């Protein structure tokens, strides 16, 4: 196992300033030390029928599940979650222990 992952895939509402949300997420992860790494991306290649309207993915890595649990209850996360929740149209969230099948080169 190589840590604990928090994966969020969303479709933002039409009138949302996505850049502001992204800035907020980057600020959030910089304030919470238990976040080991943070990556995000916007889909540019997926077929519409496979994408199902989702446009952005966010991935956080934690050393262990307990660090993720601490993150969820952190005041900065609680505050940001209220803003984030009002900006999304659809969401999928997966939280899982990570199994490394192939190490980075």
In the chain, where the domains are located: 13-95
Q: Quick check: 105 pLDDT over 60?
A: yes
Confidence of residue 45 (pLDDT cuts 50, 70, 90): confident
pLDDT on residue 1? 55
> What CATH fold (topology level) applies to the domain 13-95?
Alpha-Beta Plaits (3.30.70)
pLDDT, tens digit (0-9, with 9 covering 90-100), for 56-95: 999 999 999 999 999 999 999 999 999 999 999 999 999 9
> Which residue's structure tokens are 């899982």?
96
pLDDT on residue 103? 82
pLDDT on residue 71? 96
Phi, psi of 102 (to 5 degrees): -150, 120
Q: Are 64 and 3 in contact (CB under 8 A)?
A: yes
């Amino acid at each position: 196992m190589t840590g604990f992952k928090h994966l969020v895939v969303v479709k933002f509402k039409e009138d949302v300033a996505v850049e502001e949300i992204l800035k907020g997420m980057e600020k959030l992860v910089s304030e919470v030390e238990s976040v080991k790494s943070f990556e995000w991306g916007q889909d540019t290649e997926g077929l519409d029928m496979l994408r199902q309207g989702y446009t952005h993915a966010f991935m956080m890595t934690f050393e262990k599940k307990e660090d993720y649990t601490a993150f969820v209850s952190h005041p900065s996360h609680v505050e940001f979650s209220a803003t984030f929740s009002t900006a999304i149209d659809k969401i999928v969230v997966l939280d899982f222990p990570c199994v490394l099948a192939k190490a980075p080169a």
